[in-house]
Amino acid sequence: MSYIERIEKDLTAAMREKNELRLSVLRMVKSALKYKEIEKKRALDDLESLQVLQTLVKQRRESVDQFTRGGRKDLADKETKEIAIIEEYLPVAPSDNEIRGAVEDAIAESGADSLKQMGAVVKAARARLEGKNVDGKVLSDLVRVRLSGKS
């Protein structure tokens, strides 16, 4: 079952349950996926759908940060609840050890020894972790620390 089919099924269930927050989040997710389909002029594959969902989570995390700094705890809490709902559709995040292993393998494979090769290492590590919900900032920070410690 594709992401959009799953979301449509859960959208119907949320309507029956009269769960307003879940309903609005799922409508927003469905809209974002449909928009991307229209932009691509074809149905999205699972990887593309996953990228859309990860973007939505990232946007909400940035909003939580902004609302927290602005003293709007109520809005930050709402965004946090939305993140939890969207994350139900994302695959499991890799463990720290899996991320470290992928970074080490990528460094060994590319022969990187300075921060100049950081982009290639991040790309290779992402490829090793494909299909998992990887936080790009965590991955790039780990690569940066690893490469700067080595040079």
Q: Cβ of 5: how many Cβ atoms within 10 Å? A: 9
Q: State the pLDDT at residue 120.
A: 86
Spell out the domains of the chain, with CATH numbers in brackets.
3-87 (1.10.1510.10), 96-150 (1.10.10)
Six-digit token string for 142: 């780990």
- Whether residue 22 contacts residue 6, with contact meaning beta carbons closer than 8 Å, is answered with no
pLDDT tens digit at each of 151 positions of the chain? 788 899 999 999 999 999 999 999 999 999 999 999 999 999 988 888 988 998 999 999 999 999 999 999 999 999 999 999 999 998 887 888 888 888 888 888 888 777 888 888 888 888 888 777 787 788 888 888 888 874 4
Q: Are 94 and 106 in contact (CB under 8 A)?
A: no
Cβ partners under 8 Å of residue 63, min gap 6: 75, 76, 79
Residue 75 has a pLDDT of: 96
**The pLDDT of residue 99:** 86
- Please report which helix (H) or strand (E) contains residue 88, including its range: none
